[in-house]
Amino acid sequence: MTDKITSTSKAAAAASNTTSASTSSSTSNSKNLMYIPKFRNGSFYQYLTRLWDYPLKKFDSPEEVERKVCIFAEWVKESQHTVFHTGAGISTSAGIPDFRGPKGVWTLEKKGLKPDINVSWDDARPTLTHMAIVSLERKGKVQYVVSQNIDGLHLRSGLQRKKLSELHGSMFADKCNYCHRQFVRHGAVKTVGQKCQNLTCPGVRSNGRRCRGKMHDTVLDWEDGLPELDLDLSEMQSNAADLSISLGTTLQIIPSGNLPVNTKKRGGKFVIVNLQPTKQDRHADLIINTYVDDVMRRLLELLDIPLLQYRPEDDPMFITRHKLEKYFRENGLPVDLDNFVDYSGFEPTEWTIQGKWLKEKELVERNKSRKVISKKRQSQEDKVEDELKKKIKPTEAFANNYTKTLGSEFQSSVQCKSVNGNYFKNEIKKDD
């Protein structure tokens, strides 16, 4: 595919913003549709371009980044179930623009400009962050990845389908409208909105006969509902997590933006790595403001895990392409990847998500055991501290005089650490 990655159409920009939505009042309450608030003035697209128009946040100092990443690494070591939530910011170093960053599609379009990008979807390669996630997964440090991205770079990095939910579809996977199986494409799709590709399904039925369905792209447009199995798995995995990590996303689009908070509600930790403020900053236990590639590189160093390198020979897209080219040559057919319409005699790499994964014993048990922590069960000490946080901006003096601030009702042993400018107690004991 020779098309360059640009904001050439509103539909493509909307789809590339990695979400789906419905503006119909009859479907806005469905859990698998994105909620878009109503507005009175301006077009829908103009509204979206102004949505959560955050300024670029100041970078953390190198010393602050190091301190935070050390905390981050300890949490990864301790976690028994870690889930990554990824957005467009992890793909910018591959040449794919994000949307709300200083050079993002929507940021520049609001100024009447277009991103200066000269890379095709096919030519883009997984970034250091993509490969770091795979490296962690191979060592058992990552149990699942939830992605809003449609660029297919998680697929191409070698991450297993069983470990990945692609909530907004993929440029490199088609789905049959009859058997609903998904297969890896030989190149990036040229349509969005689940359009028919005029390709017969390569799937084979249990009776040995070929499926008669047609392949459709999986990239969602605004009116499309999120894929049910991907969404259900992402919810269950987030609920089961001890640690949720958000990389390169402002977490504005729901339901995907709310998933990391599900971990927090069940007693887990929540880490954000992003250059801009996010919609969920108030829920985070740790926020690191710097480039995600730098954070992931240092994380692997601290965990003593080698970074796996991208290998085209392991890329499912290239594997499918090479198999298809070989099939053409062996059958005396012209190698025309853009115009063939029949997969007869050839089956590409399957990329189907399985419903049985929702019923796996360990995942089900973790979901049952990790209940939402009710505010009613909050201890008296935490209630007092929460009230103080609302009324008093934490300072060194406040931290050092925590006992006096609480009054005689409590005795405290306070060891404070600065995390994102806030001071948190490690231990408070109530008088017996």
Closest by CA to 237, choosing from 260, 221, 215, is 260
Closest by CA to 213, choosing from 179, 253, 257, is 179
Q: Are 45 and 60 in contact (CB under 8 A)?
A: no
Q: Are 204 and 335 in contact (CB under 8 A)?
A: no
Residue 211 in marked binding region: yes
**C-alpha distances out from residue 129 to 60, 86, 351, Å:** 19, 10, 22
Residue 179 in marked binding region: yes
**E strands in 71-218:** 82-86, 144-147, 164-166, 173-176, 182-184, 196-200, 214-217
Closest by CA to 165, choosing from 120, 227, 211, 209, is 227
Q: How far apart are CA 201 and CA 324, in angstroms?
A: 14
Strand 173-176 versus strand 82-86 pairing type: unpaired
Q: How far apart are CA 261 and CA 244, in angstroms?
A: 8
Strand 144-147 versus strand 82-86 pairing type: parallel
Residue 196 in marked binding region: no
Closest by CA to 400, choosing from 378, 381, 419, 425, is 425
Instruction: Using alpha carbons only, give the angle 385, 388, 390 rounded to the nearest 5 degrees.
Output: 115
Exposure string (b/e) for 385-415, b if CB count within 10 Å is 16 or more? beeeeeeeebeeebbeebeebbeeebebebe
The total of other beta-carbon atoms located within 10 Å of residue 328's CB is: 16
So which residues are the catalytic ones?
168
Secondary structure element (H or E) that encloses residue 391, with its range: helix 380-391
124 forms bridges with which residues in the sheet? Answer: none
Residue 201 in marked binding region: yes
DSSP state of 212: -
Q: How far apart are CA 104 and CA 6, in angstroms?
A: 11
Which single residue is written with the structure tokens 């934490």?
394
Q: How far apart are CA 23 and CA 43, in angstroms?
A: 13
Q: Which residues are annotated as a binding site for Zn(2+)?
A: 176, 179, 201, 211
